[in-house]
Amino acid sequence: MSKEEKEIRYEQRKQEFLAKYDELDLFSVYASEFISDTRRQVIKELSPGKNKADDKTILKIVDPRCSEEEMMEKKRIWEEMCMIKF
């Protein structure tokens, strides 16, 4: 397989991942080749037992369709909200 074919297959897998993102569980997202180390770190930091974010919330925060800057802002806001007593 040529380098070009590998790149095409990679992009196809990535597009499939993004198209199915809303259906994936947290483990599948964490294990994906398309999730950056920064996003994996955020998943670890927000996993239940730490800031007690549920899987659905974590998946929304680390959504790969938003930039890493947007993701970090969402994380900061989540952490800020955790400190507020409702």
CB 21 within 8 A of CB 61: no
Q: Which has more pLDDT, 79 or 31?
A: 31
Distance separating alpha carbons of residues 79 and 53, to the nearest angstrom: 9
pLDDT confidence tier of residue 51, bands split at 50, 70 and 90: low
pLDDT score of 72: 97
**pTM of the shown model:** 0.85
- CA 14 and chain centroid, separation: 13
**Amino acid, res. 16:** E
What is the token pair recorded at 57?
């919330």
Q: Which has more pLDDT, 52 or 32?
A: 32
pLDDT confidence tier of residue 83, bands split at 50, 70 and 90: confident
Check pLDDT > 90 for residue 74: yes
Q: Which has more pLDDT, 10 or 49?
A: 10
